Amino acid sequence: MVLQRLNSIPAYRKLFGRAFPEVAAGAPIDFSMFGRAIAEFEFALTFANAPIDQFARGDLDAMTPAEKRGALIFFGKGRCVECHSVAGKANEMFTDSQERNIGVPQIAPFFGVGKGDTIFDGPNQDEDFGLEQITNNPADRYHFRTAPLRNLAIQPAFFHNGSFTRLEDAVRHHLNVFESARNYDPVRAGVERDLRQRVGPIEPVLATVDPILATPINLTDAEFDDLTAFVRNGLQDKRVNKENLCRLIPDSVPSGRPLLKFVNCPKDKDK
């Protein structure tokens, strides 16, 4: 459908023709072109010039003392880097790109018109089996990819399902996943109304938690504050802000279809 739409709208054919000479010469836009165009746009959204990058390049004042102390915890006794890796293939993105079970609370909307549009897993359709959905391997149940950690300061919710809305809570969850998951309350976590209706079973999730987080990590309050300062500010590229990102939303698209609404961006006129 997407390809049909792109190929039937002259404005898209013209835009694709600028990037792909074969389209300009009359060939149809194909799926690989569509994918590459989206990928190029996404590459343009990589903002990786945070205090830690500047520090790594030799600007020793780029990080505050709290961020530096927090970094030492991140790379040391906090064990964060064991999954949120930086070196080699991780390409400084703070993820090993592996799917893991870290005991994230299960929240699910009800399915149906005006409710959710996805049928969830499990006997009560209130679970997400994660990687198992793709591999059909029960050992992959509840595994989700280690999230990259850059520019989290502007992120409204955390984990694959947005079960936490405060960065502190998402970080604290890791320190004792059992305590956090068993005491989870979606209202206290600040999630939207439609996701507060039901919390899926947590014991089956906790039964196979990643061994790295199966032993709680003890941090003092001061260490926790430093760690959070590092994750929130030490990894934040200053260019990532409302003004710069809202500007990326076009006033209209060639198909004439309605645009998604971005709740935190002003309406087109006052952009």
Residues binding ligand HEC (CB under 6 A): 78-80, 82-84, 100, 102, 104, 144, 146-147, 149, 152, 155, 158-160, 167, 170-171, 174, 210, 212-213, 227, 231
Whole-number Å distance between alpha carbons of 91 and 60? 22
How many residues would you count in the chain? 271
Tell the smallest beta-carbon distance from residue 17 to ligand HEC (Å).
37
Q: What is the dihedral of CA 67, 68, 69, 70, to 10 degrees?
A: 50
Identity of the residue, 15 or 167, whose beta carbon is nearer to ligand HEC in the bound complex = 167
CB of 243 to ligand HEC, least distance (A): 22
Q: Which two tokens stand for residue 147?
A: 């999230």
Between 16 and 142, whose beta carbon lies closer to ligand HEC?
Answer: 142
- Minimum distance of ligand HEC from residue 260's CB (angstroms): 20
Longest dimension (CA), the chain: 65
Q: How far is CA 223 from CA 148, 172, 231, in A?
A: 22, 12, 12
Closer CB to ligand HEC, 33 or 172, in the complex: 172
Q: In angstroms, what is the C-alpha Rg of the chain?
A: 22
Q: Look up residue 182 and give its two tokens.
A: 């068993």
Residue pair 160/130 in contact by the 8 Å Cβ criterion: yes
CA distance readout (Å), 47 to 16, 43, 51: 26, 9, 12
Nearer of residues 33 and 152 to ligand HEC, judged by Cβ: 152
Closer Cβ to ligand HEC, 98 or 124, answer by number: 98
CB 205 within 8 A of CB 101: yes
- CA–CA separation, 175 and 30 (whole Å): 47
Q: How far apart are CA 59 and CA 190, in angstroms?
A: 38
Between residues 16 and 230, which has the closer beta carbon with respect to ligand HEC?
Answer: 230
Q: Minimum Å distance from CB 123 to ligand HEC? A: 21
Residue placing its CB nearer to ligand HEC in the complex, 90 or 212: 212
**Least distance between ligand HEC and beta carbon 178 (Å):** 14
Q: Which of 104, 91, 87 is nearest to 144 (CA)?
A: 104
Shortest Å, Cβ 236 to ligand HEC: 12
Token pair for 83: 């999954």
We find the least distance from the C-beta atom of residue 109 to ligand HEC, in angstroms, to be: 17
